[in-house]
Amino acid sequence: MSEIPTRFIATGADAAIAITRAAVNHRIGVSLSFQPGHLDPDRLARALRLSFDAEPVVGCSFRTDERRAYWQRMSDLDGAKLLVQEGVLDQDAMMRSFQAAEVSDEGPQATVALFRSAQRDVLGIKVSHVLADGQAAKQYAYLLADIYTRLGVDPAFTPEPNLRKRPSGRDVWANLTSKQRREARKAKSWTNPTWPAPSTADAGEGLTYRWTTLRSELFHALKSYGTDRGCTVNDMLLTAVLRACISRLDPPVGVPLSLMYTADLRRYLPDAATLPISNLSISGSLDIERVNDESFEETLHRVHERMQRWAEMCHGAGPLASAEKIAGLGYRITERLLGLAFRAGGASDKTYPWFTNIGIVDDTKLLFDGVAPDSGFMFGPGAVGTSIVPVVSTYRNTLTVCMGYGDSDESAHSTEALLGSIAGEIEGVCSACPERWARASGYQEPMR
């Protein structure tokens, strides 16, 4: 095995996300469900330990000084333990609690839990967003499955460390053409909130989650509807979230609404499949106005046009490169600058939805001894307070919308109502595909 360095440079995106934890709870997770007894806890614990060598930065502590942020390799990685709970009565509740807990800066930057019952094994995987975005969280889950399977063949297996340089915004920028750079300079990453904040007397102090899972037939119907209109499933989901938020929050007409959307920039890098665990996603706002009495198809048309413009601007490439320049001023200066921006935003009585589509979770890369999970979905960052953070993932053509929120009865009610509205928008538009809808309108898994 190649020698692993003791220190790695943190990127500007790492540093920026670390600083914003004052407002957002940053971790990204996966929930995977198997038949009972399929997973071997001892082998899973060994796979977890070896994953810290396969992706060395995962086995690090996050450190800062006046000048820089960096990743320091831990000296006691053998002390990292797999959490195993047997005879669990409410695995959903255990998963909520597990995913809500922070990943400590002390490291490791990933934790894994196995919740077992007579009905199923539920595997929870969680990584720090300071180190990894949603695509990297999937990458880590795939890695864990691969190591687990290899250990079943050879218990002495050791992985080769991925020592490729972690890419940054500078690397993305360097791979753009001159035309793309001109367009990318027009994009902005930050915008002021313009939505009325939900009226919540008790926002709760801790974080928890709710999610709703849509049947696979709905995904097929949604895809069919979009294909007929030259739109992507992502366009459709953005439209559903926008319309649901308008119906629940009643924002003003004639004001650009700051609907935040996360873009993955790996598409601009060569050999993206072998990159180390990294942060290469950034958010920006669609700034799209409310139009009363507008049909789903009319809203979809406007969203699709905005997303096409985003693609033309290589949206996020400019701001991500700027994050590297700001980080070059020194960590403490960057901390003060971002702190000023967040305090200014926090002084407002407005909010904004923050939508992330993590995309397809590939079951062919999640084979644990040749067996993929029966079901799975992902968790994203959450915020206690007035933020609205729907996260969508797709596993085996099944869409799940998950939201983190402050743990209170009032916040739970508003979150469930919004999830119901998003599902209602999707179900409503799928009814425009009668041949698909006839199969999709049966049993719907309850919200959890």
Q: What is the pLDDT of residues 164-200, one digit of tens each?
A: 999 988 899 999 999 988 888 877 666 778 888 776 6
Q: Distance between CA 257 and CA 386 in Å, rounded?
A: 16
pLDDT in the model for residue 441 = 47
Span 55-78, average pLDDT:
94
Dist CA 445 CA 174 (whole Å): 46
The answer to whether residue 339 scores a pLDDT higher than 80 is: no
pLDDT digits 0-9 by tens, 273-310: 899 999 998 888 888 999 999 999 999 999 999 999 88
Q: Specify the higher pLDDT residue, 446 or 297.
A: 297
**169-440, what's its fold?**
Chloramphenicol Acetyltransferase (3.30.559)
Structure token digits, residue 107: 């490291």
- Alpha-carbon span 325 to 318, nearest angstrom: 11
Model confidence over 195-237: pLDDT tens digits?
A: 887 766 455 567 889 999 998 888 888 888 988 899 999 999 9
Q: How far is CA 115 from the centre of its chain?
A: 22
Task: Give the residue among 94, 70, 18 at the shortest CA–CA distance from 381.
Answer: 18
**Using 50, 70 and 90 to split pLDDT, how confident is the model at 443?**
very low
pLDDT of residue 128 exceeding 70, the answer is: yes
What's the pLDDT at 61? 97
In one-letter notation, the amino acid at residue 200 is: T
Domain regions of the chain by residue span: 7-153, 169-440
User: What's residue 200's pLDDT?
Assistant: 60
Check: CB of residue 69 under 8 Å from CB of residue 15.
yes
Instruction: Give the pLDDT confidence score for residue 440 in this predicted structure.
Output: 45
Number of other CB atoms surrounding residue 230 within 10 Å: 10
Average pLDDT over residues 372-386: 86
CA 72 remoteness from chain centre: 25
The predicted model scores a pTM of 0.92
Question: How many angstroms separate the CA atoms of 107 and 55, rounded?
Answer: 13
Tell me what the pLDDT averaged over the chain comes to.
88
* pLDDT at res. 340: 66
Residue 136: the pLDDT is 96
pLDDT band at 320 (very low <50, low <70, confident <90, very high): confident
Helix (H), strand (E), coil (C) string for the chain: CCCCCCEEECCHHHHHHHHHHHCCECEEEEEEEECCCCCCHHHHHHHHHHHHHHCHHHHEEEEECCCCEEEEECCCHHHCCCEEECCCCCHHHHHHHHHHCCCCCCCCCEEEEEEECCCCEEEEEEEECCCCCHHHHHHHHHHHHHHHHHHHHCCCCCCCCCCCCCCCHHHHHHCCCHHHHHHHCCCCCCCCCCEECCCCCCCCCCEEEEEEECCHHHHHHHHHHHHHCCCCHHHHHHHHHHHHHHHHHCCCCCCCECCEEEEECHHHCCCHHHCCCCCCEEEEECCECCCCCCCHHHHHHHHHHHHHHHHHCCCCHHHHHHHHHHHCCCHHHHHHHHHHHHHHHHCCCEECEEEEEEEEECHHHCCECCECCCEEEEECCECCCCCECEEEEEECCEEEEEEEEECCHHHHHHHHHHHHHHHHHHHHHHCCCHHHHHHHCCCCCCCC
Q: How far is CA 188 from CA 258, 260, 374, in A?
A: 12, 11, 40
Q: What is the pLDDT of residue 438?
A: 46
For 174, the token pair is 């360097």
Q: Cis ω on the peptide bond leading into residue 434 (within 30° of 0)?
A: no
End-to-end CA, the chain: 44
Per the structure block, which two tokens stand in for 22?
A: 């004052």
In whole angstroms, what is the distance from residue 88 CA to residue 98 CA? 13
pLDDT of res. 442: 45
Residue 333 has pLDDT above 70, yes or no: yes
Spatial CB neighbours of 177, under 8 Å, sequence gap ≥ 6: none
Superfamily of domain 7-153: Chloramphenicol acetyltransferase-like domain (3.30.559.10)
The pLDDT value given to residue 258: 87
Dist CA 172 CA 13 (whole Å): 12
More confident residue, 426 or 336: 426
Span 82-100, pLDDT tens digits: 999 999 999 999 999 999 9
Residues 387-406 pLDDT 10s: 688 999 999 999 999 998 88
At which residue do the structure tokens 């538009």 appear? 429
Q: Are 134 and 358 in contact (CB under 8 A)?
A: yes
| ∠ Cα 160 162 165 (to 5°) | 155
Q: Taking the C-alpha atoms of 239, 448, 396 and 276 in order, what is their torsion angle to the nearest 10 degrees?
A: 80
More confident residue, 440 or 102: 102
Tell me the average pLDDT across 412-423.
91
pLDDT computed for residue 199 by the predictor = 64
